[in-house]
């Protein structure tokens, strides 16, 4: 009689926990199903002659800022982090990289004509000055990518100089050797 009573008691405790267990199982199944979506994580080959540093002077300290804060989304040399293997962060990151490369690709700078190069350089300064770049969720995961006020000033000084370089080269091309 005592045993039966105890059995009944634990049985009702199980029943009370059941909805929670079912919910957990559903969440786990959804998480597992999400992992089946494998976003693209490609780094297309880079032709050094197409990279930005083959077209305008990029001093080492500027290269270091671009490498630390922009490279993962604006080049073909993305360092795919561990969370790029786990959905849903992987889905957000791969989208940002795809859109980032579409907007500005430092690995394919050679494709930009004079006007586009000038516009991209100007935009780099604008975006960092306004604090739009690097993109927000990225800086949470990569605190070192946050730009200091000095970094922003350095980038803008550099874009100014690089734009002058682009303009000078265009003018030289126009005057031509003949």
- Integer Cα distance of 80 and 51 in angstroms: 20
Q: Does residue 117 contact residue 109 with C-beta atoms inside 8 Å?
A: yes
Total residues contacting ligand HEC (rule CB under 6 A)?
Answer: 20
Q: With respect to ligand HEC, which residue has the nearer C-beta, 69 or 117?
A: 69
Q: With respect to ligand HEC, which residue has the nearer C-beta, 50 or 135?
A: 135
Q: How far is CA 1 from CA 4, 6, 7, 50, 115, in A?
A: 5, 9, 10, 84, 90
Give min distance, CB of 77 to ligand HEC, in A: 13
What is the footprint of ligand HEC within residues 62-121 (CB under 6 A)?
69-70, 72-74, 96, 99-100, 103-104, 120
Q: With respect to ligand HEC, which residue has the nearer C-beta, 16 or 154?
A: 154
Q: With respect to ligand HEC, which residue has the nearer C-beta, 151 or 165?
A: 151
Give min distance, CB of 152 to ligand HEC, in A: 9
Give min distance, CB of 145 to ligand HEC, in A: 6
Give the pair of three-digit tokens for residue 16: 């009370």
Identify the DSSP state of 54: G
Give the closest residue to 61 by CA, choosing from 69, 72, 50, 73: 69
Give min distance, CB of 121 to ligand HEC, in A: 9
- Integer Cα distance of 89 and 84 in angstroms: 6
- Integer Cα distance of 110 and 49 in angstroms: 7
What is the footprint of ligand HEC within residues 126-165 (CB under 6 A)?
127-128, 133-135, 138, 147
Q: With respect to ligand HEC, which residue has the nearer C-beta, 29 or 131?
A: 131
- Integer Cα distance of 164 and 168 in angstroms: 6
Contact footprint for ligand HEC (CB under 6 A) = 69-70, 72-74, 96, 99-100, 103-104, 120, 123-124, 127-128, 133-135, 138, 147
């Amino acid at each position: 009689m005592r045993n039966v009573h105890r059995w009944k008691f634990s049985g009702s405790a199980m029943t009370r926990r059941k909805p929670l267990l079912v919910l957990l199982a559903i969440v786990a199944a959804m998480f597992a199903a999400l992992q089946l979506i494998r976003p693209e994580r490609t780094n297309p080959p880079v032709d050094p002659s197409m990279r930005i540093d083959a077209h305008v002077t990029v001093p080492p300290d500027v290269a270091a800022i671009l490498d630390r804060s922009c490279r993962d989304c604006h080049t073909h040399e993305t360092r795919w982090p561990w969370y790029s293997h786990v959905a849903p962060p992987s889905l957000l990151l791969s989208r940002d990289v795809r859109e980032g490369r579409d907007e500005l690709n430092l690995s394919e700078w050679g494709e930009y004509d004079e006007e586009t190069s000038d516009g991209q350089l100007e935009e780099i300064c604008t975006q960092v000055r306004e604090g739009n770049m690097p993109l927000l969720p990225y800086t949470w995961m990569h605190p070192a990518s946050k730009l200091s006020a000095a970094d922003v000033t350095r980038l803008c000084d550099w874009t100014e100089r690089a734009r002058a370089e682009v303009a000078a080269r265009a003018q030289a091309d126009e005057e031509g050797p003949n």
